[in-house]
Amino acid sequence: MKLYGVKGSPFVRKALVVLEEKGLSYELETMVSVSPKSPELLALHPLGKIPILRDGELVVPDSSVICAYLEKKYPAPALYPADPAEYAKALFLEEYADTRMFEVLGPVLFERVVKRFVFLWLRITMPSSGPAPSPYTAASIPWTGLTSTPAARRNHAE
């Protein structure tokens, strides 16, 4: 199996936790979801987001869908409760974390972790001269992908 994304994404990490906890063999292929979205990304995910799972011919976009798919295909160890009421509670917590919590904490994560990491990465890898890097590589993150959250958009508009 192959998971497309980057470890800095909390949604990718969610899928990674499930892959790891279930002891599945997989590889993580670096794919960024910066704008402009690459044709490779859009071919795998109609919304151009990460993570995406590939299992043979099957392509599964979206972290919640990936987790549900893996739980169904590899039921042991179970990561969701069997009891329907507890299951509903777990699903809501997952939804809450993916939406409201991400809206609130995403910009903090971005400022405190992603930005530092990206700028450090750039300092190490960016050529000081020559052609500009492809907009689809991680090198373009500071000028493109940073627009992927409203807070980042505000930040860049300033």
Q: Is 31 in the site for ligand GSH (CB under 6 A)?
A: no
Whole-angstrom CA distances from 48 to 119, 126, 132, 158 are 23, 25, 23, 26
Residues 6+ apart with CB under 8 A from 134: 140
Binding mask 46-85 vs ligand GSH (x if CB under 6 A, - otherwise)? Answer: --xxxx----------xxx---------------------
Angle, vertex CA 96, rays to CA 51 and CA 64, nearest 5: 30
If the CB atoms of residues 50 and 139 are measured against ligand GSH, the closer one turns out to be 50
Binding mask 99-128 vs ligand GSH (x if CB under 6 A, - otherwise)? Answer: ------------------------------
Q: Is 140 in the site for ligand GSH (CB under 6 A)?
A: no
Alpha-carbon distance 107 to 64, whole Å?
21
Q: Is 4 in the site for ligand GSH (CB under 6 A)?
A: no
CB-based burial label for 50 (10 Å; 0-12, 13-18, 19+): buried
Q: Is 38 in the site for ligand GSH (CB under 6 A)?
A: no
Among 55, 71, 94, 98, interactor with ligand GSH by CB under 6 A: 98
Angle, vertex CA 41, rays to CA 60 and CA 130, nearest 5: 155
- Interaction site with ligand GSH (CB under 6 A): 9, 11, 33, 48-51, 62-64, 98, 148
